Chain A
Amino acid sequence: MDRELILDVRAVSYRYPETARDALAGVSLVARAGEVHAVLGPNGSGKTTLLRVALGLARPATGSAAILGQPAAAWSRRDLARIVGVVPQREDHLFPQRVRETVLLGRYPYLSVWGAERPEDQAAVDRALARCDVSSLATRWIWTLSGGEYQRVRLARALAQEPKLLVLDEPTASLDVRHEMELFELVRALADQDGLAVVLITHHVNLAARFADRVLLLADGRTAGDGAPADVLTRETVERVFAWPVSIASFDGRPQMIPLRKQEEHS
């Protein structure tokens, strides 16, 4: 049986106003329930632009971006927030906030303007906190958390939205190995056990190769590779896209990239 089609981005192009070059050209990304997609590419290759187009925040010049069959830009932000939970790369904390309050923000798309939070909202928050193993932190202030705890709390907030699609923008950028692995394991489990579709933007080529079902490799706004990690992450492709010599090893059937020192370049 086919899994539910959730995100359907087809051959989109996008150009920022007053720039000469397409930030995205003919990129596709199709995500179904239970799949983890990793989006890889050097800085400025169009990863974040692809995210904006996929989530209806930027309208593609050509191609189409649809979520559950409806054009992404046609969704109201509120309705879309019930389908897609996002952990953005950066956010501000203008005012101090406690963990539970932060996760409760994920219930916004379900609340009426004047109504208070209902028991089912509190239950969803409890479930999200438990799923991300941060229930014990509920009363802590956000700014007292470690980097790994903070990312899990923000993931819990996205889960409180009860989404079908989870989008993470470099969620492990400054985490140590243990917290990085914990987060990737959690994301994989959310796809396998909870049936979420996951789109993960990351710089960690090797972790992407280990955890993702499919990899989309971007270079200069164009698709440099799209498919299973072993098919996309070949030496030639990786070297061309990242402009650095590498060697590709295999671990547990998954490709692993080893960047080479200058003197180790392929002879």
Chain B
Amino acid sequence: MAFVVWDNPPVVIGGGSYLDELAGLVGAANVFHDIAAASATVGLETIVSRDPDLLVLLRDSATAEPPGFLRRPEWRAVRAVRQARIVYLSGSLFARPGPRAAEAVAEFRRRLEEAMP
């Protein structure tokens, strides 16, 4: 899986970040675990070649509609986008570690299972 923070340029979550740890806790591997920065700009080509099974999108707002960029032709090159394997996490629970960390792990696990039965 890959955490996508922004689409143009694509910004993903790297290793040593809270979200990367969360992914480890729920038994999912962040394909950008090797990048030693909390977040980093990468090429779309790198996302395609690392071929995550699903994308996790972080968003401020609780809008239900998927973001427009998923319909852009260059993003269709990403398998997870073509297969519509997208998980949305809202900021408040997942932005930083805190007393609700256990809740975050449980919520994250539930979402992943929904997306990849």
Question: Is there a contact between chains A and B in the complex with CB atoms less than 8 Å apart?
Answer: no
Interface residues of B (CB under 8 A from A): none
Interface residues of A (CB under 8 A from B): none
